[in-house]
Amino acid sequence: MAREPKRSSARIPLQRRTWLKLMAALSVMPAATEAQEGTQGRGRGVAGPQPVSKDMALAALATLGLVFTDAEIDMMLPTVNRTLASYEQLRKIDVPLDTPPALLFSPILPGHPVPQGRPRYRAPKAVPLPHFRDPEELAFLPAVQLGALVRAKKITSTALTTMYLNRLKQYSPKLNCVITLTEDLALEQAKQADTDLRRGRHHSPLHGVPYGAKDLFDTKGILTTWGAEPYQTRIADGDATVIEKLRSAGAVLVAKLSMGALAQGGLWFKGMTKTPWNYEMTSSGSSAGSASATSAGLVGFSIGTETLGSIVSPSTRCGVAGVRPTFGRVSRHGAMALCWSMDKIGPICRSMADCAEVLRVLSGPDGKDLTVLNAPLHWDARKPLKGMKVGYLAAEFERGDGKAKPVYTEALHALREAGVKLEAMQLPEFPLNAIRFVLDAEAAAAFDDITRSGSVDQLSGQTPGDWPNQFRSSRLIPAVEYIRAQRARTLYMQKFAELMGQWDAFVSPAASQSLTATNLTGHPQVVVPCGFIDGLPQGLLFTGRLFDEGTPMRLAYAYELATDWHTRRPALQT
């Protein structure tokens, strides 16, 4: 992308010019600063001109809304300039991309202990296995039913895998949902799954089931590109923990699925991923390919990630089920980091029962991601709904145009008919948008190297809302404001904990303020399709307590039983 021609400094206001000079000083670090460091450190003053002048400091402080006296600024300058040397030394340290900061976020507040005990798991009653003549007839079957067919030896994993590989080759080019087809690995894993089964080793209900993974999970010897131009040839030395756990469960990896570049939106280095419900529209993101491929019946299930909507949004747009679990439920080891205090990993499937089974496999600590807590995962698909205290965000169901309101009115009616007693509620008042920039600050830190090197300019997205501009802009977020925002985040977490103490779960439209709220607090959310507007699927969102994904999953499952939206299939193009 061509750079804009340089503008004459005479046309730039003085305050902005001095601010730009300060940023240049911070980024480039003149050699003179190192020579000055010794005298500054001994309190002897500064000899010669300083990289950061008094005018620059005044402009920077004005930008931050601060006013200090002349004497205070004169006292500051030696320290500010001395710190420049620290920045330069810091930038010379090779910090591997998978290195987390020495700070760990936890959604658990004082006085709210981590749940203990053994997991309680009761799946839905088994349904009769379908009869079929051609494996292609099984493409849209839920993953647990595919696994049941393999276990009953009605079909081999190899035959199932071959069918999905063929569908990926046939339909994924139009959807633009695959970055790397892992055909050789898939056939090898499928063969092993069949061999294990013949020898009496059945690893899980996902044994022999083909799946796709968002292309930010490391896979040994196979491309993991993060959907971004600077990393198109990146190959990891090992597997991410979730890849290892799924392999141990007998699942078969058939594809690395597309994602918005560096986990933003649906645009990656080969274009925009589409929803199979409308090939003119993006599948949303950033788990774009995971939702699109699952909806199109190109995989048995998929894995995505969410920082601020990247499971819920594409699952909604593609009409599939998604679970964004509690922060600290699933290890992120071997997954691209965007925001260490907000990133989460979860399943995207064609049914809630599938999501529960996949999450069961993924859950638990691995000793590598220290944010993961050993909390039991409870899932009881047959738990009675009576007695559950369930709220709904009444104001959110009331807003919207004439097309949206009937869809959500009918969704609430279906829930009530299923036996769910709903009571109106609202979220705590809080200026959430004032602390959302913690994501921008952490993302800018994660990709600081490519921002300073200029390789971020290679990304396809270069609008004001895309990462390159956000990374550059976030360079001006003061550390003090970032820490203050995290402290304010704790205040909101306390408010939200008080709210959730009154409810087992609550329901809202997928486009809900609760999406931002819970990504900041770490609470789990579950989304299922609930209708269509202008041919595009809509989503119903269920929110649960920390480490209690089972309750919102149970409510979502009840909604699936009461409706047929999750069984609708898109018409595919080739």
Summarize pLDDT for 14-46 with one digit per residue, the tens: 454 554 555 555 554 443 333 333 333 333 344
User: Average pLDDT of the chain?
Assistant: 92
pLDDT digits (tens, 9 = 90+) for 411-468: 999 999 999 999 999 999 999 999 999 999 999 999 999 999 999 999 999 999 999 9
Average pLDDT over residues 115-137: 95
Does the pLDDT value for residue 269 go beyond 70?
yes
H-only helix segments in 157-198: 157-175, 183-198
Residue-by-residue DSSP string for 230-249: GGTT-BBSS--HHHHHHHHT
pLDDT band at 279 (very low <50, low <70, confident <90, very high): very high
**What pLDDT is recorded for position 21?**
52
Q: Which of 36, 15, 19 is nearest to 83 (CA)?
A: 36
367 class by beta-carbon count within 10 Å (0-12 exposed, 13-18 middle, 19+ buried): exposed
Does the pLDDT value for residue 351 go beyond 70?
yes
Q: How far apart are CA 312 and CA 517, in angstroms?
A: 13
Q: How far apart are CA 41 and CA 87, in angstroms?
A: 16
Share of the chain above pLDDT 70, in %: 92
Cβ-defined contacts of 400-408 (< 8 Å, 24+) = 400/509, 403/533, 403/534, 404/509, 404/533, 404/538, 407/530, 407/531, 407/532, 407/533, 407/538, 408/509, 408/530, 408/531, 408/538, 408/540
Phi, psi of 303 (to 5 degrees): -120, 135
Residue 265 identity (one-letter amino acid)? G
**Residue with structure tokens 């009530």?**
416
Any idea which fold 156-431+483-565 has? Amidase signature (AS) enzymes (3.90.1300)
1 class by beta-carbon count within 10 Å (0-12 exposed, 13-18 middle, 19+ buried): exposed
β-bridge partners, 303:
213, 347
Query: How many Cα neighbours within 13 Å face the side chain of 9?
Result: 8
| Tokens matching residue 498 | 């008080």
Q: How far apart are CA 205 and CA 150, in angstroms?
A: 9
CB neighbours of 493 closer than 8 A, spacing ≥ 6? 107, 109, 520, 521, 522
- As a residue count, the chain comes to 574
Average pLDDT over residues 133-161: 98
Average pLDDT over residues 228-244: 98
Residue 402 identity (one-letter amino acid)? G
Average pLDDT over residues 545-554: 98
**What pLDDT is recorded for position 22?**
55
pLDDT band at 48 (very low <50, low <70, confident <90, very high): low
Q: How far apart are CA 35 and CA 47, in angstroms?
A: 9
Does the pLDDT value for residue 82 go beyond 90?
no
pLDDT band at 296 (very low <50, low <70, confident <90, very high): very high
Of 273 and 45, more confident: 273
| Tokens matching residue 248 | 């141990």
H-only helix segments in 42-156: 54-63, 70-92, 143-151
Does the pLDDT value for residue 4 go beyond 70?
no
Enumerate the CATH 3.90.1300.10 domain ranges in the chain, comma separated: 156-431+483-565
Average pLDDT over residues 386-394: 97
Residue 130 identity (one-letter amino acid)? P
8 A C-beta contact, residue 166 and residue 208: no
Q: Find the distance separating the first CA and the last CA of the chain, reported in whole Å.
A: 32
**What pLDDT is recorded for position 399?**
85
Average pLDDT over residues 360-376: 97
8 A C-beta contact, residue 88 and residue 34: yes
Q: How far apart are CA 133 and CA 128, in angstroms?
A: 16
pLDDT band at 85 (very low <50, low <70, confident <90, very high): confident
Does the pLDDT value for residue 8 go beyond 80?
no
Of 61 and 266, more confident: 266
CA angle 550, 555, 557 (to 5 degrees): 90
The dihedral sign for the CA sequence 513, 515, 517, 518: positive
A 10 A CB-CB count for 516 gives 17
Query: What stretches of 326-393 adopt beta strand conformation (E)?
Result: 344-349, 379-380, 390-393
A 10 A CB-CB count for 43 gives 7
Average pLDDT over residues 544-564: 98
Average pLDDT over residues 395-408: 90
Q: How far apart are CA 18 and CA 27, in angstroms?
A: 14
**What pLDDT is recorded for position 221?**
98
Q: How far apart are CA 305 and CA 336, in angstroms?
A: 10
Lowest mean pLDDT among 76-85, 272-281, 492-501: 76-85
CB neighbours of 427 closer than 8 A, spacing ≥ 6? 393, 496, 499, 513, 514, 517
Phi, psi of 181 (to 5 degrees): -85, 120
pLDDT digits (tens, 9 = 90+) for 89-118: 888 999 998 899 999 999 999 999 999 999
Average pLDDT over residues 549-559: 98
